[in-house]
């Protein structure tokens, strides 16, 4: 019955793990909205919102039912504005579970009409995190096996210009 799913995150930058999750969802839902958080509540992002959105748009350019948009403020307000009822999150390992479980529980208390669904990535992407990708890149390491090639290029350019 559900057509649309919202996949929110920081995507700083988008990795092959994020890509795997969104593509799996695109085979189940008719529309996947990759929602790039403007103010993630974390520290200053490495790529600004526009850069993160553009990178994800390029990565999903060939997947017709995946759209990338930025959002700010409360995720659930965005979900409502989109007319959606399902939020998608990725689970990598047990370490993600506690936080994701709390988040889903709080969201359910506040917005009982919205469900959170979880997908796990292919095992080769299980260990990838955007924060480690940034760290390795900044230290001059090769992250090409963890991110789409255009993201690896963009990381190199950004680091050179810093």
| Residue 107 half-sphere exposure toward CB, CA atoms < 13 A | 23
Stretch that binds ligand ADP, among 6-14, 53-61, 73-81, 108-116 (CB under 6 A): 6-14
Cβ-based nearer residue to ligand ADP, 121 or 148: 121
From the list 89, 117, 136, 144, which residue makes contact with ligand ADP (rule: CB under 6 A)? 89
Query: Alpha helices of 68-148 — where are they, by DSSP H?
Result: 75-81, 94-110, 130-138
Cβ-based nearer residue to ligand ADP, 1 or 123: 123
Does residue 137 belong to the site contacting ligand ADP (CB under 6 A)?
A: no
From the list 92, 116, 150, 156, which residue makes contact with ligand ADP (rule: CB under 6 A)? 92
Provide the total of helices (H) and of strands (E) in the chain, helices listed first. 6, 5
Asked if residue 161 lies in contact with residue 153, where contact means CB atoms within 8 angstroms, the answer is: no
80: helix, strand or coil: helix
DSSP state of 141: -
Interface residue list for ligand ADP (CB under 6 A): 9-11, 15, 17-18, 21, 89-90, 92, 96, 121, 125, 128-131
């Amino acid at each position: 019955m559900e057509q649309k799913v919202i996949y929110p995150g920081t995507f700083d930058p988008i990795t092959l793990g994020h890509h795997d999750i969104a593509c799996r969802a695109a085979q189940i839902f008719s529309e996947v909205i990759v929602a790039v958080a403007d103010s993630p509540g974390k520290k200053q992002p490495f790529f600004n919102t526009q850069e993160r959105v553009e990178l994800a748009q390029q990565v999903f350019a060939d997947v017709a039912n995946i759209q990338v948009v930025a959002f700010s403020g409360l995720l659930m307000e965005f979900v409502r504005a989109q007319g959606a009822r399902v939020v998608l999150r990725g689970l990598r390992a047990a370490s993600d579970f506690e936080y994701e479980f709390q988040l889903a529980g709080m969201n359910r208390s506040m917005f009982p009409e919205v469900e959170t669904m979880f997908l796990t990535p292919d095992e080769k992407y299980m260990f990838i995190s955007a924060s480690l990708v940034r760290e390795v890149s900044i230290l001059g390491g090769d992250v090409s096996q963890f991110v789409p090639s255009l993201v690896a290029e963009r990381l190199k350019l950004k680091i050179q210009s810093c």
